[in-house]
Structure 1
Amino acid sequence: MFEIADRLLAALECGQTLAVATAVSIDGSAPRTVGTSMAYDGEAVLGSIAGGCVEGAVVGVCDEVLHDGMSRTVEYGVSDETAFEVGLTCGGQLRIHVQLVTPDSVVARQLAAAVRGDAAGIASVVGYARVVDTESGDPVSTSVVGSGNSRAANGVSVVVGGSDDRFASRIEAELASRMLNGVNTLSMIDCEGELLETFFEIAASPARMIIFGAMEYSAALSRAAVVLGYRVTVCDPRPLFATPTRFPDVEVVVAWPPHYLAETETDERTVICVLSHDDRFDADLVELALQRGVGYVGAMGSRRTSDRRFDELRERGVAEESLARLHSPIGLDLGASTPEETAVSILAEVIAARAAKPGVPLMSTRGSIHRVTA
């Protein structure tokens, strides 16, 4: 549900109670990914789970949850007799967990953390094996919410069957561990011999994109990258060009690019785009970028400029294995000419590189269109 956290939080802050439906497992061809959510308040729908395939049926389940407050897990697929009735004709198999979220709930607090850009995590039990409430005999309903750091005991709230927290510490530990890798997963958790099928939904802090060079191409790329959820920094040594006025929605740094890159934080998700070509620092900057273990390094330039860049890096002793990670000239060959089109070209290559895909037309490929994520 974190992908629509801002819209969910806005509704909750207005005092609305929501039934939030989340895809917890997807098999075969389905147009969205695990963790995708939609919400219903009794009148309006926020978000979409399956690109319009099953939303009508899910709204009915949401109505039930709004009425009695009990969470539910439902499954849809082409093997069902009702597949065409609910609209799932794309070949996928979906399991969807629907839960009640109130303005004062622990889930609401995690949505707020995600909107702030902090890490957040929610664990929900969606299936049970021999687990019942000790007093009523009904299946328990477990919701665990973790704080943005790796210490499960800090800020974690647990609700199990209203009062029974037998399994809280076990799920807390699992949630804290899984928040470190930022991946949504559905797992069977052994809690003192009782098996709880638990969906761990994680909102990692936004990935960084660092753009070197303050130019029109950088402005277009930064705007598009923000839409994709990146935390963008534009760095340029020229104070006349690197200004908040030219780049209003991102961090702007006036610094010598190699010095800034050497001092700033990066990780395996970071994207580095060198859009300037200044012989005073180009080779130093690209060489350092290749040493940082980031997810993507791209450098703009003509083929002649790119050839010179590769030659200089080889003369510096940069290994061919490292050079193979350098995307230069940057971007996919889309025939782009304007800054905005070039931004699409660059981001398309970034997405393809992240998914280890070739970036070719879907009509030339075979197999499932939609990449299933854990």
Structure 2
Amino acid sequence: MLNIAQTLLRWCRDARPFALATVVDVRGSTPLPLGTAMAVDADGNAVGSVSGGCVEGAVYDLCRQALREGGAPHRAWFGFSDDDAFAVGLTCGGELVVLVQTVGAAARPHLAAALDEAVQGLPVAVAQVVDGPAGLLGATLGVLGDGRVVSGTLDDGSADAMVADEALALLRAGRTARVALGGSGPDCPGPLSVLVHVQASRPRMLVFGAVDFAAALSRAGAFLGYRVTVCDARPVFATAERFPYADEVVTSWPHRYLERTEVDSRTAVCVLTHDAKFDVPLLRLALDLPVGYVGAMGSRRTHDERLRLLREEGVGEEQLARLRSPIGLDLGARTPEETAVSITAEIIAHVGGGSGLPLSRGTGPIHRTAPRRRFSPVS
């Protein structure tokens, strides 16, 4: 849904009727991820995509039908058919379920409040009921990063509170996911399946060492959507002119900057200085923080010496096991630009659970689906 937030916001503000088709379940290899949406307005204008082209025509027709006939939201399944693979099916071999619903006058103002946050680039989560009681199917609820509920069409107090709590948790994790909620207790709504669409602040990439490799890595990190900081203790090298793709360039001792800056589980720490006086205090701190990735540049000899010094500083083996060193995947990289690709490839593989092997050497689906988190019933 948030992939087309700007158009949806305009349609909501214009009080324009539209139908929304959202990918609410994926299995196997599918072109686009969970939560991707397509919308069609009353004039037949379409925006967005649910499959990268495979089933767009069929989904467009379902949206037009929903606008003509009204009725309750409904789900449509699309998969691969050996007999008619290029008709209405996914030629990649996966399966997806699309929820088709009309967005009426009652829902538009509430949805617009959340979409407005998304368009401004602010953190927001939009929870959408994709399975459950007919009266709640397709209902939405929006949550800001500070926990305020900015929209809600569930019209069920206990469901609102439960969905808002889980939407906030996923917003803080920066992850779009489908979750199962509800239970059989007297104060609980019936079981619900809710897809939480998340737009979070950009993840951070902290690059330590104002070297040529850092210039290339900051550019690659910005391309991938990271908020990039380059930090070096030497003011003659740590300049904005040398790192035009970085969001900020900081002159500070690396470990002192890391002590005072904000990090989370999505933060990537890349240490490119390969100088022990910078590396050791920085890595000792980084390996003790809840960051998502810690990598350090250097030869294998440098790596071995670095490990020895870190052990002398009291860093345990469990912490050392988190260190990606020498940094990057073995791509045969030589230039700073090639090395940046090597490093970012390792970060992508680490975040996405990839093996780093050529796809031609593997089997099974090429697109991974994040495991669903199932919450205990609340009573």
TM-score w.r.t. the length of structure 2 is 0.82
Name the counterpart of 1:94.
Answer: 96
Structure 1 position 308 matched with structure 2 position 305: yes
- TM-aligned CA distance change 1:125 to 1:265, over 3 Å: same
- TM-aligned CA distance change 1:279 to 1:48, over 3 Å: same
Distance 1:36 1:226 in 2: 23
Aligned AA (2:159):
R
Distance 2:138 2:322 in 1: 47
- TM-aligned CA distance change 1:310 to 1:9, over 3 Å: farther
Structure 1 position 144 matched with structure 2 position 132: no
Q: Secondary structure at the match of 2:221?
A: helix
Structure 1 position 297 matched with structure 2 position 294: yes
CA contact (8 A) 1:101 1:108 kept: no
Structure 1 position 199 matched with structure 2 position 195: yes
Distance 1:14 1:242 in 2: 48
Distance 1:22 1:121 in 2: 15
- TM-aligned CA distance change 1:110 to 1:270, over 3 Å: same
Distance 1:212 1:14 in 2: 48
- TM-aligned CA distance change 1:262 to 1:6, over 3 Å: farther
- TM-aligned CA distance change 1:140 to 1:343, over 3 Å: closer
Displacement of 1:314? 2.4
Unaligned runs of 5+ in 2: 373-379
Displacement of 1:295? 1.0
Displacement of 1:56? 2.0
Q: CA-to-partner distance for each residue in 1:74-124, whole Å, 9 max, x for gaps?
A: 221236987642131322221112345699643343233234443211122
Distance 2:276 2:201 in 1: 34
| Structure 1 residues 110-149: aligned runs within 5 Å | 110-129=114-133, 131-132=134-135, 142-149=139-146
CA contact (8 A) 1:121 1:175 kept: no
Displacement of 1:299? 0.9
Name the counterpart of 1:177.
Answer: 166
Name the counterpart of 1:214.
Answer: 210
Q: Secondary structure at the match of 1:187?
A: strand
Displacement of 1:187? 2.7
Name the counterpart of 1:225.
Answer: 221
Distance 2:101 2:342 in 1: 39
- TM-aligned CA distance change 1:222 to 1:174, over 3 Å: same
Q: CA-to-partner distance for each residue in 1:120-177, whole Å, 9 max, x for gaps?
A: 1112223344x45xxxxxx875222222223xxx3432225xxxx2x25413432333
Q: Secondary structure at the match of 1:223?
A: helix
Distance 2:82 2:195 in 1: 23
Equivalent residues, number? 359
Q: Secondary structure at the match of 1:272?
A: strand
- TM-aligned CA distance change 1:61 to 1:82, over 3 Å: farther
Structure 1 position 32 matched with structure 2 position 32: yes
Aligned AA (2:77):
E
Name the counterpart of 1:344.
Answer: 341
Distance 1:178 1:117 in 2: 17
Displacement of 1:273? 0.4
CA contact (8 A) 2:27 2:95 kept: yes
CA contact (8 A) 1:236 1:256 kept: yes
| Structure 1 residues 20-99: aligned runs within 5 Å | 20-41=20-41, 45-67=46-68, 71-78=73-80, 84-99=86-101
Name the counterpart of 1:158.
Answer: 152
TM-score w.r.t. the length of structure 1 is 0.83
Q: Secondary structure at the match of 2:91?
A: coil
Displacement of 1:235? 1.2
Name the counterpart of 1:238.
Answer: 234
Aligned AA (2:309):
E
CA RMSD of aligned residues (A): 3.2
Displacement of 1:200? 2.3
Structure 1 position 271 matched with structure 2 position 268: yes
- TM-aligned CA distance change 1:13 to 1:362, over 3 Å: farther
Structure 1 position 318 matched with structure 2 position 318: no
Displacement of 1:304? 2.6
- TM-aligned CA distance change 1:44 to 1:200, over 3 Å: same
CA contact (8 A) 1:39 1:45 kept: yes
- TM-aligned CA distance change 1:333 to 1:12, over 3 Å: farther
Of 313, 326, 331 in structure 1, the residue corresponding to residue 328 of structure 2 is 331
Unaligned runs of 5+ in 1: 133-138
**Aligned sequence identity (%):** 47
- TM-aligned CA distance change 1:332 to 1:117, over 3 Å: same
Q: Secondary structure at the match of 1:85?
A: coil
